[in-house]
Structure 1
Amino acid sequence: MDWTDDAIIRLRSLWDEGLSTAEIGRRLGISKNAVVGKAHRLDLPARPSPIRRDPATLSAPREPAPRRVSGPTLPSLAEPSAAPVIPAPPAAVTPKPEVLPVAAVTAPPVNRPARPSLVAAMTAPIRLAPRAPACCWPIGEPGTATFRFCGDPALNNKPYCGPHADIAYVRVRDRREDVA
């Protein structure tokens, strides 16, 4: 909108009447935000908040937050004398169970294939066979037992198979075709 002198004079008079910015916008045929922006640029007096507040219901000012403690808040571990010594509660004396030696059991050797060590198994790279990407077209109602995805082989660099890609990717028409 071009702000003509007449429109600015009308804006100032409606502003002085105390109308809302939305009502001024309706009367001038412009948006509320255009009214707010122009009023700000013209440095018109600020409007009271449209949220009506009863002064009696306003609460007392809040207390300031407690000050943060600067520096270490725990005792230093370097100085053992700085840490308070808390005596351990007296432990109930329980008799230790008697440990009996286990007799060595000799079993005949079993022919098992050698297993790789656990460390070697954890550090070896995992190689998975490459899988052909599957079509992600949803079939059925999500959340029901019959819901599934198509699963047919997907096209290269597309998440869908051929028939579903035809549905999902529609060629944008040239608007010049509609003119003729």
Structure 2
Amino acid sequence: MNWTDERVEKLKKLWSEGLSASQIAAQLGGVSRNAVIGKVHRLSLPGRAKAGGTTAAARPKRATSAPRAPNYAARAVTRTVTRTAGATVLKEEVAVDLVAEQDLVLDTNIVVPMSRRLELTQLTERTCKWPIGDPLKEEFHFCGNDSPESSPYCSYHARLAYQPSAERRRMR
């Protein structure tokens, strides 16, 4: 099978529309899915466009300077997607619920308790055992503040250590 200029252009067009390698192979005819994948790789084409989305290369990078709490709001939009029915590729309009992130301003007035800087041998059942620093360094210590009877940590460090599972899932 020869890759003519016309077939390469058709491959590029179909790839940019988000068709899979199998769908492109079916439309080109006489070529396998693996041949399409190989040609896409040799042409250094960007990642296949997802239906209604952007490729990883075209996606804007988010600043990672400060952590932020996610807040999600759903909205419905209509997207054109392709699907196969046998050997036929169909395009159809589909209503999709999108979830968009909204930025929240975090409270910067958080009070972090002063640690008592205890060593391992100074810890008791009633002191916070939260480690602070690098254990291989001289300044390594434990928080040492008072902890409730049922917890190895003070109330501040317990909030850091024990997060509700729903909140952990949302932060991923």
User: With structure 2 as the length reference, what TM-score do the two structures score?
Assistant: 0.28
Structure with bigger RCO (C-alpha 8 Å, 6+ apart): 2
User: With structure 1 as the length reference, what TM-score do the two structures score?
Assistant: 0.27
Higher strand share: 2
